[in-house]
Structure 1
Amino acid sequence: MRRGFGRGRRGPGLLATVARTAVVAGTATAVAGRVDAAQQAAAQRQQEGAAAQEQLRQMHLQDRIDSQVEARLAGAAQAAPPQAAPAPARPSVDELHAQLTKLGELRTAGLLTDAEFAEQKARLLA
């Protein structure tokens, strides 16, 4: 007498094996896609952070240079005999526009607060 009458052969059939393989392959593809997307997002955040740090470093460097120039000019003004002060040279409209545009970009990038932006803008327009 046969055991398991009507079961046919033992183990999963061809269709069940193909279906199981498709499910495993689909799951692996989905997981790999999510991992790749997460890695790309992390790399982009790192690049943006590095760019923001570079801009901040450039601003600090420019501030140090400006303060050194001001200090030397102040030292030279104290050493020189008092004379009639010449009128300060106004920057050209193109230079002023370029500086204001740069300030706007820094504020948009989040490197300047609105208060710092307003202060620098007032200094430029004064």
Structure 2
Amino acid sequence: MGLIGGMARTAVVAGTATAVSNRVSRRQAGRWQAQADAEAYQQQQYQQPAYAPPPPAPPAPSSSDDLIGQLQKLGALRDQGVLTDAEFQAQKARLLSA
């Protein structure tokens, strides 16, 4: 084998090493990306949705006139869309049981 044969063998070995190295690098990058995607997915799953806090409960009425006024205010809040029907019912029940 001459000088050209030795150079050809060296070129083949170097080319093969480069190809293997690139393949390993791509595979490792793919693994890291998959791990990063899995972590991002888990963080999204554990985040609590941001909801507005419920409106403060009205103070307990001191008389029957006050009770009617409170119920009317609750009804107005429900009609305006500030309270849902379920929230309105819960507040009404609380007022009536007080």
Query: Structure 1: 5+ residue runs without aligned partners?
Result: 1-7, 97-121
Q: Indicate whether 1:24 and 2:17 are aligned.
A: yes
**Number of equivalent positions:** 77
TM-score (norm 1): 0.44
How far apart are the structure 1 equivalents of 2:10 and 2:86? Answer: 75
Query: Alignment identity in percent?
Result: 10
CA drift of 1:47 comes to 2.5
Q: Indicate whether 1:38 and 2:31 are aligned.
A: yes
CA drift of 1:123 comes to 5.1
TM-score (norm 2): 0.53
1:80 is paired with a residue whose SS is: coil
Q: Could you list the runs of 4 or more consecutive aligned residues of structure 1 that deviate by over 3 angstroms after TM superposition?
A: none
CA drift of 1:53 comes to 2.3
Q: After TM superposition, list the pairs within 5 Å mapping 1:1-126 onto structure 2.
A: 8=1, 13-54=6-47, 56=48, 58=50, 65-66=53-54, 69=56, 73=57, 76-77=59-60, 79-82=61-64, 83-84=67-68, 85-86=71-72, 87=75, 88-90=77-79, 91=81
The structure number with the bigger radius of gyration is 2
CA drift of 1:57 comes to 6.3
Query: Structure 2: 5+ residue runs without aligned partners?
Result: 90-98
The letter of the residue matching 2:36 is A
**Aligned CA distance change for structure 1 residues 80 and 38 (closer, same or farther; 3 Å):** farther
